């Protein structure tokens, strides 16, 4: 009998780690809201069909972002840097939302993205642009 693998709260809208939708007005605000809705819908499909291996990976992913020797805020910035270097736009959006929830400042974001660009090279520039656009949206266009 296989052990029961519980669904990962990081990937569910009601979980602690699920990034919440933004309430920024205007077209840009709807872009992140659509991202959140699509991500939730797709993760529900993963939960429906995934076996133990995939669910275990999701669980590991959720656990590594919990506070420990490094605070959750730092871990989210590390996730963001890795996502930029890997050029994963969905991952970048996800970590930007979580960075915003962890109260990362614009100055901290700038330094993290500078590291990402240094490690990833000029090919990351389009992703950096979109990251700053999403950050501007999350910040209510306050910069």
pLDDT in tens, the chain (143 residues): 444 444 444 544 333 354 444 343 333 567 888 999 999 999 999 999 999 999 999 999 999 999 999 999 999 999 999 999 999 999 999 999 999 999 999 999 999 999 999 999 999 999 999 999 999 999 887 44
Q: How much is the pTM? A: 0.78
As a CATH number, domain 9-138 is 1.20.1290.10
* H or E element in which residue 44 lies: helix 26-49
Report CA Rg, the chain: 16
Structural domain boundaries in the chain = 9-138
**To which residue do tokens 């007005």 refer?**
25
């Amino acid at each position: 009998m296989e052990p029961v693998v519980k669904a990962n709260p990081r990937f569910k809208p009601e979980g602690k780690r699920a990034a919440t939708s933004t309430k920024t007005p205007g077209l840009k605000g709807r872009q992140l809201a659509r991202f959140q809705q699509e991500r939730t819908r797709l993760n529900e499909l993963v939960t429906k069909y995934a076996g133990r291996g995939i669910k275990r990976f999701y669980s590991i992913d959720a656990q590594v972002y919990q506070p420990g020797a490094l605070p959750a805020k730092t871990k989210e910035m590390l996730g963001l840097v890795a996502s930029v270097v890997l050029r994963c736009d969905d991952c970048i959006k996800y970590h930007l939302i979580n960075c915003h929830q962890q109260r990362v400042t614009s100055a901290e974001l700038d330094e993290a993205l500078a590291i990402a660009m240094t490690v990833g090279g000029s090919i990351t520039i389009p992703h950096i642009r979109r990251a700053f656009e999403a950050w501007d949206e999350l910040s209510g266009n306050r910069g």
